[in-house]
Structure 1
């Protein structure tokens, strides 16, 4: 998750806009990771849990609409509307000592 911006409108509704990268696998020729970048919007309490550059699980709905961009058919916009967000712990976030082991 990157490029997260937080804003509030006149009615006090807080929103966060950003882009999430969804891992699609590796490029067959270069071996580098491939991502699909999907914009998202979150409102009010869901915004409190969204942190930039953090692995997260986002729960919500995928919306699409046509934005008038002056062309004949407009531009299709696909966006995730986030209802809740949960950070995901990775092995780098967890430290285990000998005292934690049962044997």
Structure 2
């Protein structure tokens, strides 16, 4: 078994840790895992994208119930509404809300079409 080692150095707010397992691939994997980011940032990003996904699913389902049909148009409308909602909650620029609504509708529609192809 190759020798393993642990080297650490610290400066004021940052801690740099190097782990040598003797296997370059495993070294890169462990290093990448340690450098992903802080748990706080991961939780914040996860909560944000979870809220966006929840809003989209709710919007798409609501549109499906209102229209009484299940097709790609529900994804388009749900994506547009979600894009507008997230944009409006993030900033107050009206033009940006419209652009984000169009983007949300386009991305949701493309995802729906790709889902039908597979």
Q: After TM superposition, is the score higher than 0.5? A: no
Give the TM-score normalised by structure 1: 0.22
Give the TM-score normalised by structure 2: 0.21
Greater RCO structure (CA 8 Å; 6+ sep): 1
Larger radius of gyration: 2
